């Protein structure tokens, strides 16, 4: 089936971090945690584009009232350490219970920026849920309230995470060699899509 993960003995250059089934279990656990933390309901704020798969599955696993809004930021620029908001929320979050939904937290710089931006808008509460945490890359300390999976310091593709626009639609997660992908972005298409 296209997008299904190879067996744990993956082709050279690919390491399976989580299968589709494992991701379903992780998302179900996180949905239950958010239900317990927000019995009256919550506004989920997804960060485009990487969180889309996770956000869609997460809200379907929740049983409390859920509203959704989206924001987008410019790509992180290592030379400046800055990001900027390029698509803002459509809803006013003042007085609301808000959960920021991230695909991956690594350096902590983007999360710090987003937290400061959202806290300045006066939500009743602000929590963070991330599918993946990469603590080895942390440059600034951050608080993450709900973590799906801690991953090693490797480049990750699949389930919303991409390389040059490729691999987002895969239903599993893989660690790959980023330099090899930079040289040949399509190198894993046959392995992962068949």
pLDDT by residue (tens digit) across 100-138?
999 999 999 999 999 999 999 999 999 999 999 999 999
Q: How far apart are CA 14 and CA 182, in angstroms?
A: 15
Q: Confidence class of residue 21 from pLDDT cuts 50, 70 and 90?
A: very high
3-state secondary structure of 100: strand
DSSP 137: G
- Map out the domains of the chain with their CATH numbers: 20-151 (3.40.50.2020)
Q: Confidence class of residue 7 from pLDDT cuts 50, 70 and 90?
A: very low
- Token pair, residue 168, equals 């987002």
Active-site hit among 57, 79, 92, 106: 106
69 in active site: no
Between CA 18 and CA 158, with CA 126 as vertex, the angle to 5 degrees is 20
* Report field, pTM of the whole predicted structure over 0.85: yes
pLDDT in tens, 137-184: 999 999 999 999 999 999 999 999 999 999 999 999 999 999 999 999
């Amino acid at each position: 089936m296209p997008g299904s993960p190879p067996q744990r003995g993956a082709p050279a250059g690919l390491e399976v971090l989580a299968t589709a089934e494992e991701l379903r279990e992780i998302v179900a656990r996180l949905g239950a945690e958010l239900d317990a933390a927000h019995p009256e309901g919550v506004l989920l704020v997804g960060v485009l584009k990487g969180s889309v798969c996770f956000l869609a599955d997460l809200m379907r696993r929740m049983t409390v009232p859920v509203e959704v809004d989206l924001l987008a930021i410019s790509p992180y620029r290592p030379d400046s350490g800055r990001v900027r908001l390029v698509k803002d929320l459509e809803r006013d979050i003042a007085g609301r219970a808000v959960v920021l939904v991230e695909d991956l937290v690594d350096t902590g710089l983007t999360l710090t920026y987003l937290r400061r931006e959202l806290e300045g808008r006066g939500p009743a509460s602000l929590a963070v849920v991330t599918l993946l945490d990469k603590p080895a890359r942390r440059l600034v300390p951050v608080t993450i309230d709900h973590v799906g999976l801690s991953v090693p310091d490797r480049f990750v593709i699949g389930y919303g995470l991409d390389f040059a626009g490729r691999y987002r639609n895969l239903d599993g997660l893989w660690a790959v060699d980023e330099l090899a992908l930079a040289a040949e972005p399509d190198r894993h298409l046959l392995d992962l899509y068949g």
